[in-house]
Amino acid sequence: MTFKTLDDMDLDGKIVLTRVDINVPVEDGRVTDTTRIDRIVPTIKEILSKGGTPVMLAHFGRPKGKPVLEMSLRQVVPALEAALGRDVIFVERPDRATLEAADGPVLIENTRFSPMEEANDPKMAQFLASLGDIYCNDAFSAAHRAHASTEGVARLLPSCAGRSMEAELTALDAALGTPKPPVAALVGGAKVSSKLDLLGNLVTKVQHLIIGGGMANTFLAAQGVNVQKSLCEHDLLDIARGIVAKAEAAGCAILLPRDVVVAAEFRADPPTQVVAADAVPEGHMILDAGPDSVAHINTLLDGCATLVWNGPLGAFEMTPFDAATVAAARHAAELTRAGKLVSVAGGGDTVSALNHAGVADDFTYISTAGGAFLEWMEGKELPGVAALSD
């Protein structure tokens, strides 16, 4: 994967169109989580320090191609100013003269207020290109969208990756592009149907595939196990068997739960039992992997050099069904801290689970890009990244 970074660009006196992701949660006009804003700060500050004028392009929500007051980026300005430690100029209708006169960072109104953005209309891409001298994409989480501000304009100006984008691409390359083997992928979550492409790609890329969560029940059922009342996609048993066959042909070993935690009802802290995966009592459902399964996962990770993690091992939102996810995550974090494992994780539930386990800061890299991270794991080309590579 080849792309230019800020190190390759002369920014002095230049207007740098900088695509950022500041699509942050807002309640009562206030930003409630600044994680995405915090991640773009290094890029914006570096552009300023090198004499450039960062002009931020971003979307907010889904206004469907027309101005919607509640989705104006104006409400994000105070949080952006607090993170940068300086004033931010907000511009609703940008023109070159206004941007040339700016004496600090600029934020342009929601790109999705125009229907031309999501249509990747060449006219909008050309208009955006006329505003700047250099294009910098620092929004990996929007890189799977072929929009005017993510893909179209990148092909019309000298382009590079911002620091957040650079870190993401470097981490992903270390995880699946050119990883150090042996590589393990841990994939959990509720349904196989939502991760068919992902599983099909991973079995050709990794040496070990650990399957957990509700999707593990479908694979167990495909082996003839009676999973009783457990969440299971019985219409996908043939597909699950096909994935197993593909893994065997590719030399990828699949690890399924050996023992499981079961309960008769799906709620927090019900009476539970730990049973063998093929001995689920009648009227019960599997809600987590058992301690023997976790021990096997941890032993497997001890022998791996790289781990890609997406999804929990059980219904981690409720106790005690967070136990397997927490235990495996903490072991992976311990190996990472010891320099024995490169660990890359991503996906909404994954970030929540690792935060819940208290180890988010110990993984090598955690991606907050939901759709883009999944499409990358599925082996799909991301238009925003391809434009930078080209």
* Active-site residue, selected from the candidate residues 242, 348, 370, 379: 348
Cα-atom radius of gyration of the chain, to the nearest Å? 23
Determine phi and psi for 262, rounding to 5 degrees.
-120, 155
Query: In angstroms, how far is the first alpha carbon of the chain from the final one?
Result: 10
* Active-site residue, selected from the candidate residues 14, 19, 36, 39: 36
191 noted as active-site residue: yes
* 112 annotated ligand-binding residue: yes
* 60 annotated ligand-binding residue: yes
What is the rounded distance in angstroms from the CA atom of residue 90 to the CA atom of residue 295?
Answer: 54
What is the rounded distance in angstroms from the CA atom of residue 316 to the CA atom of residue 293?
Answer: 16
- Quote the tokens at residue 330: 């903490």
> Which of 162, 156, 108, 126 has its CA nearest to residue 387?
156
- Quote the tokens at residue 75: 């409400």
* Active-site residue, selected from the candidate residues 45, 191, 229, 330: 191
- Quote the tokens at residue 88: 């931010």
* 23 annotated ligand-binding residue: yes
246 noted as active-site residue: no
* 144 annotated ligand-binding residue: no
* 288 annotated ligand-binding residue: no
* 40 annotated ligand-binding residue: no
- Do residues 108 and 60 make contact, with C-beta atoms less than 8 angstroms apart? no
- Quote the tokens at residue 51: 């004499």
What is the rounded distance in angstroms from the CA atom of residue 124 to the CA atom of residue 120?
Answer: 7
36 noted as active-site residue: yes
What is the rounded distance in angstroms from the CA atom of residue 390 to the CA atom of residue 387?
Answer: 5
* 317 annotated ligand-binding residue: yes
What DSSP designation does 5 have? B
- Do residues 157 and 133 make contact, with C-beta atoms less than 8 angstroms apart? yes
CA distance readout (Å), 373 to 123, 164, 216, 310, 368: 29, 14, 21, 9, 8
- Quote the tokens at residue 309: 């993690």
340 noted as active-site residue: no
- Do residues 263 and 272 make contact, with C-beta atoms less than 8 angstroms apart? yes
* Active-site residue, selected from the candidate residues 200, 242, 370, 371: 371
* 19 annotated ligand-binding residue: no
* 195 annotated ligand-binding residue: yes
Contacts of 100 (CB under 8 A, 6+ apart): 15
Beta bridge partners of 286: 262
* 21 annotated ligand-binding residue: yes
Host H or E run for residue 175: none
Residue ranges of the annotated binding site for substrate are 21-23, 36, 59-62, 112, 145
Residue ranges of the annotated binding site for ATP are 195, 317, 347-350
Residue ranges of the annotated binding site are 21-23, 36, 59-62, 112, 145, 195, 317, 347-350
Just list the catalytic residues: 36, 191, 348, 371
